[in-house]
Each structure stands twice: as C-alpha cells, then as structure tokens.
Amino acid sequence: MPAEQSAPHVVQMRGITIRFPGVLALDRVDFTLRAGEVHSLMGENGAGKSTLIKALTGVYTIDGGTIEVSGEQRSFGSTADAQGAGISTVYQEVNLCANLTVGENVMLGHESRRGGAIDWRTTHSRASQHLANLGLDIDPRTALASHSIAIQQLVAISRAMVLESSVLILDEPTSSLDRGEVEQLFAVIRGLRDRGVAILFVSHFLDQVYEISDRITVLRNGQLVGEYGIDELPRDALVTAMIGRELDDLTALGTSAHREINRSGAPVVRAMGIGKRGVLEPADLEVFEGEVVGIAGLLGSGRTELVRLLYGADKPDAGSIFVKGEAAHLRTPRHAIERGISFSSEDRRAEGIIADLTVAENIMLGVQARKGWLHKVKAAERDELVAQYIEALGVRPANPGALAGNLSGGNQQKVLLARWLAMAPDLLVLDEPTRGIDVGAKADIQRKVSELSQKGLSVVFISSELEEVLRIAQRIAVMRDRHKIGEVAASDVNVDGLIDYIANAGEGSAA
C-alpha cells in the first residue's frame, strides 16, 4: 500500500543540480522520500538515476539545490557523512569485503569493544541478531565469500540496519538473483518498510518495480519527469515517460520498414535457443541477407546480452548458432570475425575507439588484425580504404592523421563504423551506435546503414530510440526482463504500438 501522503518526509531533495565538464547531469531535480514507503527511481541510461543516488549518498557534491534529511539541511562530503545521517546503500555489485567473515562485514566499524579491544563474542552475537532480524540463520564466523550473492546482498542490508538507517537505497539489487532469491529479498524489503524504513529501489525489471513499489519517480535526460503513485502510472505510461518523444528531425530520412526481404534462402545467422543462466533466457534470432533486424527493449532487458552471445563475446550455455546454414562454434569474437560477423560495442570509449591512435589507424585496426600483424597492409591500399570511408561516412575533420580522441562522439562512432565496414562483414551488429551523438551524425549513420543493407549487408541494430529502430529495421525483436518476448514487423507497428508491446505483451494486462 502506498504510504500516506502525510507520512513524514525523511528525505527532501530540492532543485538538485550537478554539472560535469560539458554535461548537465542533473537539472533542478526534486525528489522526496517518505518513511515506510518503497519508492522506485526510474529512467533510461544517462537519465541521472545514479547521479541522484550519488548526490544523496555523498559520493558527489551538488552544484545547486538543497538536501534535507529528517528535517535537517545537510551537505555530504563523503559516504561516511551520509551514513551518519542514516542513509545506507546496497549496490548492485555487493560492496562488502569477501576476505572477511559475514559477522565482520555486518559489524565493521561498529564492533563491540571492551577495554579498547574488540570483543568478538559480543560482536558476533550482535551480528547474529541483526541477521536473524532479516530471517537469516547463518554462522557469522563463516567467510562471506562462501555464501551466494543473494545471501551477501542480505548481509549488506543487515549491515545497513546496524547503522540504524532510516533510508535504505537498493541499487539494482536483483540483477543477479533468481526468482526465489528475489522473493526472499522482497520479503525483507516489505518487513523493513513496515518498520518505517524509507526504501529507494532501482531496478530495470518492470515486473519487480510494479510488485514492490508504492511510488515511482521518473527521470529523463537529467530532468524530473514526475512523481507518481504506483496505481496512477500504468506500464505503458511509465515506458513513455522514461523514453520520451524526440522531436523528429530525422523523419526526412524516410523509412525502410516496407522494403521486401527475401527470406527464402538460409539466414546469414540463425541462433536457436541461445541463452545463458542468469543472463538471458534462451532466445531465437534469424537475420537474412540484406535485412536489418532491430532489437527493442529497455536498458537491461537483455539486448546487449543477446548480441554478445551471438558474437562470441560471452559463451552461451544453451542453444546453437548457424552461420549461412552451417553450425558454428563462436567461442571468441575472433571466431565471429572469421565468419564475417562484426560487432560494434555500445561502450565506444572503453571497447572501441583508441584515443591515442589516428583516425586512419583506428579504421585500419580491424583489417590489419584480420590479415595478421606480420602482413602489413600496403600504404597505398590503406590510404585508399581510409579515404573512401572518411568520405562515405562524412567523418569530420576529414583528416586521416587526426587523433581519434579529439573527435566528437558522433565522429568517433563513424570511425568505428568504418573500422567494421572496412572488414567487409556479412553481418554487422551495432549496439547503440547513435547514443549520445548529435542529430547530424545520427542521420549520417542511419543513412549509411540503410544504404549498405540495400546492397546486401545484414545488420542487427540495437537502440533505445524506438523511432530509430522503426525507421531502419524491417523486423524488430522485443526484449523484456532478459527474455525475448516476441517479434514484430516494422511495417505493422508505430511507436505507441511498440511501447505497448514492450510494456504489456505477454502480461495479459494490456492497458
């Protein structure tokens, strides 16, 4: 049940602004947390969720606005400050010390002492007490690492209770738990809520958000969209609020949705029931020659996980993959590349562009790697290839000798695209190729992808922007909660239809 409007405001954040160099990460965001409620903070990647949490936990200092905790204005310089004010956080990766015992992790920094020395007997029995309060019957003297992640997470919550926290922040706590473990965690969360603890819950799993929350606050692009009671916000309204609508400068590009694809031959790639325990439930995917298959779904729905399995970056523990009708064992990305599959990662800074190399060197990396390092690509051949792609993709500045690190995000993305295209793949997998880049570069990339697919290149295209997916793809695979929930033909749906599908398909509760 939603907490009463009159429940005391434990946390009141007003007009929170945080700037990073060149980015306004949070723009005058208000956020209120009441005693005895579970409040979900929702938003896509880059919306500002984690920035807001870090402002509240003292990891970041705020550039504007005020934070009141239990009626007192506060400014936090460190996590210790925030903990002192009764705010505890349990992170996605359990932030405990695996080398210590369960009891120590619960009590660290708060051990019972007698005459200046830690009294381990009392400390451990207090730890047992706190663990028992959450229904955990484990020996506090066992090593933390001997327990499952789910238990470790509950140990982290026990620790928060030692600090007598009035606010508990759970940041993606369920991402590595199975169903039974989630139930156990939720039982604990409900227990704490009933004792008056204010709980801030972050999860990508919509089902879980609706199961546990009393209230939802939605952020988008660093701004507050709104605060809603759980009953006021149906799923499709939530998805719309999170994704928003972009004023479309790109409609001019037209759409490839109606292009006919010849699906009579063997697919370029066919994945049958590929999955990995705890990462992705078994899913099928086929991509035919000249086809663009979009993958739609919220962040964390399993989009990236699916293509990583397809590409050999992660190892599936179920299912099989066929390339042009032949069974293929893609154990590493190298195998995939040998079979004509290229993958452009969503994290272009960490996994793509090498900032200290020139544009030409970045483009040639893939080709050179494929030839082997001992067979140097001839200079003339290299210059021609590089010039061709700089021209075709409109890389600015059009200077092969410029350092890649000095290019804008959009142009870096074009360089990456050029790298994969230069290898002449049969299938190109693009994970969020247009995220965080300007509209012009976006249009260039979309145009190029459409053009190449018409010439026979097969593409798997992941994007959080549904308009984009609808415009480029002929077929769209829809993911939710690490599960492929279905496929739609791009010509059959519009943005609203797709949102409805993402939010409600298979739920039997379509709004």
* Binding residues vs other proteins (CB under 8 A): 78-80, 83-84, 89, 91, 95-101, 104, 108-109, 111, 113, 116-118, 136-139, 141-143, 145-148, 151, 159, 163
CB of 106 to other proteins, least distance (A): 10
Q: How far is the CB of 11 from other proteins (least distance, A)?
A: 18
Q: Are 479 and 297 in contact (CB under 8 A)?
A: yes
* DSSP summary character for residue 297: -
Q: What is the DSSP letter of 144?
A: G
Closest distance between other proteins and the C-beta of residue 331, in Å? 22
Q: 504 near 510, Cβ under 8 Å?
A: yes
Helix axes 379-393, 409-422, angle to 10 degrees: 130
431 neighbors 344 (Cβ within 8 angstroms):
yes
Cβ contact 468:250 at 8 Å: yes
Q: Which is nearer to other proteins, 28 or 74 (CB)?
A: 74
Q: For other proteins, which is the closer residue by CB, 117 or 379?
A: 117
Q: Which is nearer to other proteins, 176 or 221 (CB)?
A: 176
Residue 66 tokens read as 């005020």
Q: In 3-state terms, what secondary structure has residue 43?
A: coil
What is the sign, positive or negative, of the torsion defined by CA atoms of 450, 451, 453, 454?
A: positive
Task: Compute and round to an integer the Cα radius of gyration of the chain.
Answer: 25
Which CB, 128 or 240, lies closer to other proteins?
Answer: 128
Least distance from C-beta 464 to other proteins, angstroms? 28
Q: Identify which of residues 113 and 329 has a Cβ nearer to other proteins in the complex.
A: 113
What is the spatial distance between Cα 433 and Cα 465, in angstroms, rounded to a whole number? 11
3 state SS of 459: strand
Instruction: Please identify, using beta-carbon distances, which residue of 148 and 320 lies nearer to other proteins.
Output: 148
Least distance from other proteins to the Cβ atom of residue 337, Å: 29
- Cα separation of 59 and 508, whole Å? 42
Q: How far is the CB of 98 from other proteins (least distance, A)?
A: 5
Contact partners, residue 84, CB within 8 Å, separation at least 6: none
CB of 108 to other proteins, least distance (A): 6
Which are the contacts of 55, defined by CB distance < 8 A and separation ≥ 6?
Answer: 13, 16, 18, 26, 61, 62, 67
Q: Could you give the CA distance from residue 136 to residue 358 in angstroms, rounded to a whole number?
A: 56
Residue with tokens 């063997």: 266
> How is residue 255 written in tokens?
């759409």
Question: Minimum Å distance from CB 146 to other proteins?
Answer: 5
For other proteins, give the closer residue by CB, 104 or 291. 104
Residues recorded for the chain: 511
Q: How far apart are CA 213 and CA 497, in angstroms?
A: 26
Whichever of 89 and 434 has its CB closer to other proteins, that residue is 89
Pairing of the two strands 198-202 and 167-171:
parallel
Closest approach of other proteins to the CB of residue 275, in Å: 22
CB nearer to other proteins: give 23 or 145: 145
